[in-house]
Amino acid sequence: MSQDTVQMVAEAPAFRPLSDFAGTLSQRVYASLKEAILDLSLRPGAILRKGDVCEALGVSRSPVSEAVARLASEALVDIVPQAGTFVARLSLDEVREGAFLREALELAAVEEVARAITEEQLVELRRNLRLQEGLVADGDIRGFYAADAGFHELLLSFTGHRRLPGLSRTAWVHVDRARRLLLPEPGRVEETLAEHRAILAALEARDPEAARAATRAHLRQVVTRLERLGTERPELFA
């Protein structure tokens, strides 16, 4: 019961306007809410009143309800029937599960891709990698993260499976949210770049096992640092 009581004032939602997104109202509400949750601008553990969301976004309750249901299926919110909806707390268990899922998917992908990658696909990866190098040189960290995501999305799309990239992103959601807590470490982007180069090298060699090893090493970096954070500051996680 010793919950936070002081921060009632800091409950300013500040959602991105719906006009920034496309699709049906439900999808737009979903996108806006999800972004707010991943941003941590909706604090973990905070109550999420559907009525407030309706008023803030200027829509009725059906689209909000559907959007919240989708978020619940990703464990980003907890719905307690007839009681309330709460933003999911940060949880090391969820981080571990998300990391496990993404690692499983991505290892299977690179293993398959390494066996039959085409020259055109390698060209795409090399181009993305050069883009990353440029962004690092310019110090554009935000752009680098976007290119990073693009690199992984390219890899997954090479399997030919349409829904795989989206599933991987969904799996990674809890890791990504917790990552906001990590302070930027000097030299980390250069390490990331080197890890991407190692993955590309394994794919150029068409060596499935090397590709798996490089991808695994790459993906475990973030989780390792989050585990360390969990032991150093356990109060951050539920």
Which residues are near a second copy by CB under 8 A? 24, 26, 62, 65-66, 69-70, 73, 75, 81, 93, 96-97, 100-101, 103-105, 107-109, 112, 159, 161-164, 167
Residue 104 contacts which entry, DNA, a second copy, none (Cβ below 5-8 A, type-dependent): a second copy
CA–CA gap between residue 89 and residue 62 (Å, rounded): 25
By CB under 7 A, the residues from 64 to 93 that bind DNA are: 65-66, 79-85
**Given the complex with DNA, which of 79 and 122 has the nearer CB atom?**
79
Q: Which does 73 bind (CB under 5 to 8 A by kind): DNA, a second copy, none?
A: a second copy
Distance, in Å, from the CA atom of 105 to the CA atom of 86, rounded to the nearest integer, reads 29
C-alpha–C-alpha distance, residues 64 and 46, integer Å: 17
Token digits of residue 161: 């499976």
Q: How far is the CB of 83 from DNA (least distance, A)?
A: 4
Minimum CB–partner distance for residue 128 and DNA (Å):
35
End-to-end CA distance of the chain: 14
Report, in Å, the least distance between residue 183 CB and a second copy. Answer: 28
- Which lies closer to DNA via its Cβ, residue 47 or residue 201? 47
- What x/- string results for residues 43 through 62 when contact with DNA is judged by CB under 7 A? -----xxxx-------xxxx
Q: Which does 139 bind (CB under 5 to 8 A by kind): a second copy, DNA, none?
A: none
* CA distances in angstroms from 59 to 24, 34, 55, 65, listed in the order given: 12, 17, 7, 11
Q: Are 48 and 72 in contact (CB under 8 A)?
A: no
Q: Which of 75, 101, 73 is nearest to 164 (CA)?
A: 101
